[in-house]
Structure 1
Amino acid sequence: MQRKIIHIDMDAFYASVEQRDDPALRGKPVAVGGSRERGVVAAASYEARVFGVRSAMPSSTARRLCPDLVFVKPRFEVYKAVSGQIRAIFAEYTPLIEPLSLDEAYLDVTETIPGIASATQIAQEIKSKIREATGLTASAGVSYNKFLAKLASDYDKPDGLFVIKPQQGLAFVEPLKVGQFHGIGKVTAAKMNDLGIFTGLDLRQQTEAFLVQKFGKAGRFYHAIANAVDDRPVQPDRIRKSTGSETTFATDLTEWPDLIDGLAGPINDLWQDCERIRSTGRTLTLKVKYADFQLITRSRSFGSPISSHAQLAQCTHDILQTLMPLPKGVRLLGVSLSNLESMDGVASQNEVGKQLTLGF
């Protein structure tokens, strides 16, 4: 059976929530994030995007592009609550929901509910219910696989609905720049350009063997999507692969006590997230961005998952110690855990260890 996939993407989600809740912000260029010199834009309203303001952009750059930009501190608890409302609307139509973040998700509606004939109609109803329940707009893409549904939701933003039918897939992919493909980042796109691959048609004309030779196992995926093929299922219980937190500092850090203080926030945030999702990890990664924007990471894997905040802090400090003395000042520090496992299982293993120690 031909699958029916919907990709829902909320329009400028964080910024739109802020404009909804504060009428004074409506119609104005808004950036959610830190306004200080070292701040970063987490989200930008469409009024701000006109000036070139984008998420992940340094706040100082955003302010230069748009002098009238209004900065608003993020309220993640509010965004999570709104996301929960949206998720409840999705559940009215299918149990096959794969969240990608707070503001986007894939839905498999191959088995349509009685009385609704098409995936397009379901997407229209979801968009209407989201607007009614939250006062926000969403864009939707409808197609026969996840790759095309994602492209479709980006095609007619904001508040759009675009459908790519099975007979249209190949033609839709052909003229797109490879950098527009979800799953092909800037570095990979640049490498493809160096090989003379600029569009979907160029990519399709390469053999799978050639792409695997140049890009490893990912080459198979690139070959498939160039042919408008994507067999990945919508995974409602998709396992989270990692969790992390980072912070950018107002001034560059050079001394050990300042670095330890600077890591305290990300370590606390990371462990709180671990407790929230009831998962912890075996692989710890420290991210360091120097004053000249050079970015490095250092990872360490352990025989068992990290089991406490204190252990997380100590292991992070140990990794940082390997970088001392620093070659230059540090503007950003981040910490993340991957190879996640259930915290409950870790707790059970620890309890068994304690019993064995006490008993023998």
Structure 2
Amino acid sequence: MVNKEIEIKLGVIGRPEDLIEILSTIGEVSNEREEQLRNVYYDTEDHVLFDKGIGLRIRKSPDFAEQTLKFRGENIGGLHSRGEYNVPVDEDIDTPNLSLFSKDIFPEDFNISQISDRLIPLCEIDFTRYSFDFKAMECVFEVAYDNGGINLGSGLYAPINELEIELKKSDKNEDDLDITAIFSSLISVLAEKNLPLTLEPFSKMHRASVLLRNERSFVSFALRSQASDLNAYILDLIKSYENLYGLFLLKQDPQIFSCAAATLGTLLYSLKKLRKSGKMAFFSHERLPVNYRHDLKIIIKVLTMFYEKCTKFEKVFTNSVLSGNKNKVSAAMQKLRKMESDCQVYVIPLKLRVLISMLVK
């Protein structure tokens, strides 16, 4: 019933045609499969579940039906870690039964009976999942390419075209399992083969919730650290950028993009300060220092390239929005995603997180 879900989510431009061939060069691929998945997500009319960081769905395929609770966890660089609880249900069920879950998993002030009575379907997310098992680095992953869309009602539709890599189990001891480094290594392999990937900061349900509520108040700056604590400040800047960029991809609002670009600029400046700081870095359980300057130089170069492109894009995109021409806006968004993929920005957040974890505070 219980499982801690740890996975990386990335957007895809087109189809990842060579994915199996690429991963076969570094590990073992097996059990290829294709599924049609229908997912209905639920909440109360006043969004009690969303406000508590809970996602609730019923998922059905021709072979199974289950209801799932997901709790808000950590997300950086597309790497999601959160609690997930699944229970099988009858195929003809059309409303979740919260009493099937253990009471212990809910917040203390959560009235299961009362909230169950108020549940309504919010949206339907349907997609084809092409997946396979992948074994490498003493770990077993499920790799899935999802293609479909979010049906929001009233003719509103948001496409889904993304890659998920979920850690299912590992032969390593928990103390020796550096999840961030493992996923970073995997993503680096995909980047070396030039798969057309992009950042996908929000989960499917998060995207649906933002679009359904039609608000701009989701702008989130994750700056809980003081700028004097450079390591923590850089991590907070990464989170803030991802929140803003994810929101922009949904809202396509020039003001949100300006905030995201400004945050990227601050991140770049902070990384340059880090480069000058001369901080020492060490692998876990190692005494000899690590020379990270070359990696940091490449990260700064990539982000500088993308930042300069974003500065030019901001003007073009604002003019497209102000013109009221939806075709121009759509073309500009496609251009941005192509620029992002070409710069391989999706690799950077995880690489930075690995680097920051090695630095002496």
- TM-score interval (norm. to shorter): under 0.3
Higher relative contact order (CA 8 A, sep 6+): 2
Name the one with the larger strand percent.
Answer: 2
TM, length-normalised to structure 2: 0.23
TM, length-normalised to structure 1: 0.23
Structure with bigger gyration radius: 1
